Amino acid sequence: MVAERAAAHDAALGTGGPGMISIDTDGCRVADAATLVATAAGWPGRR
C-alpha cells in the first residue's frame, strides 16, 4: 500500500520541469547518491 502510493507520487511528478536534475537511486549507496546529487547541482561533492 505504501509502496503503491510512493509509485503514484513518482508518477505525479511526470517528466519534471526544465532544468530538473534526475538521479536514479536504484542500487545506489547513500554516499554515491549524494555525490551524484551534489555534482549535478554544482555543490561540494566530497566530505
Partner 1 sequence: MSGHVLLICGPAGVGKSTIGFEVYMRALAAGLCARYLDLGQTGFVRPDPPADPGRRQLMARNLAAVWRNYHAAGARHLVATVPAGTAADVQAFADALPAATVAVCRLRAGRAELTRRICPAARAAAGRSPAIRCAASRLSTWRWSPSERQRTTRRSAPEVPA
Instruction: Specify the 3-state DSSP secondary structure of 15.
Output: coil
Least gap, CB of 23 to partner 1 (angstroms): 5
Report the alpha-carbon distance of residue 16 to residue 29 in Å, rounded.
Answer: 24
Kindly report the number of other CB atoms within 10 A of residue 38's CB atom.
13
> Binding marks (x or -) toward partner 1, 5..44, rule CB under 8 A?
xxxxxx-xxxxxx-xxxxxxxxx-xxx-xx--xx-xxxxx
Min dist. Cβ of residue 36 to partner 1 (A): 9
CB contact at 8 A, 21 and 37: yes
Question: Which residues contact partner 1 (rule: CB under 8 A)?
Answer: 2-3, 5-10, 12-17, 19-27, 29-31, 33-34, 37-38, 40-47
